[in-house]
Structure 1
Amino acid sequence: MFEPLGLDETAIAVYRALLTTPGLSPQGLTVATGLNPGQVHAVLDLLEEKGFLRRSHNDPGELRTESPLVAFERLIGRHEEVLHRSQEQLSSMRAGSAELVEEYHRVLERTRLGQIEHIVATDEIVARVLELGQNAERSVDSLLTTSPTQHQIEQAKSDEAAMLARGMRLRSIIPAAGRHVDGVVEYAAWLQERGGAARTVLSVPNQTLLYDGEVAVLMFNHADFTRGAIVLSAPGAVVALQSLFDLLWESGTDLVEPPSLDELRPEERELLQLLGRGMKDEAVARALGISIRTVRRMINILSERLDAPSRFTLGARAHERGLI
């Protein structure tokens, strides 16, 4: 309890022994506490340093107990000063980081033309994609013109795990040839287990990422990746790209066969029953003893499997198929 103040359970036990038996000698403390003489002297020095013991006015060779109120007030006061300084440092860091973020976006604005941003450097593209993924709230849809390498797959898992844990929907479309590339099917299974999905199509026109159906990142020139990428936030353009993705998705083939609807896990059936009662995510999480993120991830998985665009539709289709 008092470790942040430099006091462990042994020190408190020795202090209590001295309170119970005032004037108890070091030898008596070894018997009362089970400590060896060296440990007893070390604890006595610590208690004196912390203000719980003081040298007697009559005999400086003897120690007497001090009020814990006085000692704790002094120690806690020092600790509060340290915490206050740390809080000031945190506030200063927040202010400094806000200035850097503002400066970063001012630099970006120089390359943006209205609702179109052209980025050429690869590192800048990666940084922008990471930022968009961090800010996305609902979904990320990916169109890949080539199969990802093993390095890209591992990086994708690292970046996407947090988004999937937040309950976001992630879908990827990969060229049909990717089915025979090492690691791609395994990645699709990893994605499906966490509520995402991956499909293949015969041909993908351009490499594209869509965030919440509101922002799109696509290669500037599908035939020359060195030309960089453009970021679009114009609603009309993004809607068109999202419609293209949805059409390709409907015509695609699952990289990993989705589990049968009859193979619902017990917790999935329980979740559907709770949703059918109109319970909110927080209440469902408490009832099942899981996190809200896990609840939302499970809802996304079931919505994908039942092809349900809303929670109401999910409940209705689950009931129609006798799942609840």
Structure 2
Amino acid sequence: MHDVLDPDSDRGRVYRSLVGHPREPVGRLAARAGLSETAVRAVLKELAAADIVTTADPDAEDASWEAAPPGQVVEALRQRDAALWTALRQTGAELERLYRFARRDTGHYGALEVVEDAARVLAVSRQLQQSARHQVRVIDVPPYSGTSDYYSEQEVLQRERMAAGVVYRAIYHGSAFDDPVSWPNMARMIEAGEQARTLDDPPMKLAIGDDELAVVTLAADDRPGVVSLLIRPSSLFQALSNVFESLWRLAVPVSATGIGTQIDARDRQILTLMASGATDDAIARRLGLGRRTVVRRVSALLAMLGATTRFQAGVQAARRGWL
């Protein structure tokens, strides 16, 4: 919900219009924000659910809307961020404690098992996916050490599990776009139905199968290769699950639409102006296009990039080399 303060996002444009023009009906809001009335109603519904805007009668066609005070909105966002980072720090501290336990001859944590054999690390990954019945959640970070054969086998397994109804949600490191093996695999899996998002610097390599097993993979300290920590249902497991969901909300969606394609010069100009903060009206004037044409192309580009805001579209376009 941070984009409510971004003047280039749909939420930001609607909220900013209400801040400057209190008790506005949807029609005038749409005109001020440069959005359709349908889009404005959807945004108002989201903002109302977060107590950022209010109205006396949300179901009335001519209902007038009011913005919550910006200071109140900023404080609510600040508290949400503080809670998120507190949870992340607590999870990091717990992981650090367990990490040290795993490397001592003494100490025990019942929900934890350490796997050091490379072959078993791969076997555990397959077991986690094969036993999942509902969903597999993954955070994938470099180094990307898998061979082409490994990725081919993983693709086959993942397609089988998705065909069986298992939902895959993956958060990829931003550098995955530059990896010659990981990126094509990621693109094919997205096309096959994987829900994917990217984050500049996720904190760990993690896989979670349903609510049964989590696997944290770390670089081995005293030799080449990796060590996996298997975490069974416990307070630590729940903390890792919460971390994934928090990062998922912060990550940028990746769309399969347009993967491997290029865009024409006009769309590139539109994306460049979007990324610079230009409104639809400003883009239309700058490029000599009709406003409806710009609105239509912006909507198509957002869908192609799997983005819900102009900021997300700019991030995805830059990562794909379109800007």
TM bracket, shorter-chain basis: 0.3 to 0.5
With the length of structure 2 as denominator, give the TM-score of the two structures.
0.41
Q: Which has the larger radius of gyration?
A: 1
Which has the bigger relative contact order, CA under 8 A and spacing at least 6? 2
With the length of structure 1 as denominator, give the TM-score of the two structures.
0.41
Q: Per residue, is there more helix in 1 or in 2?
A: 1
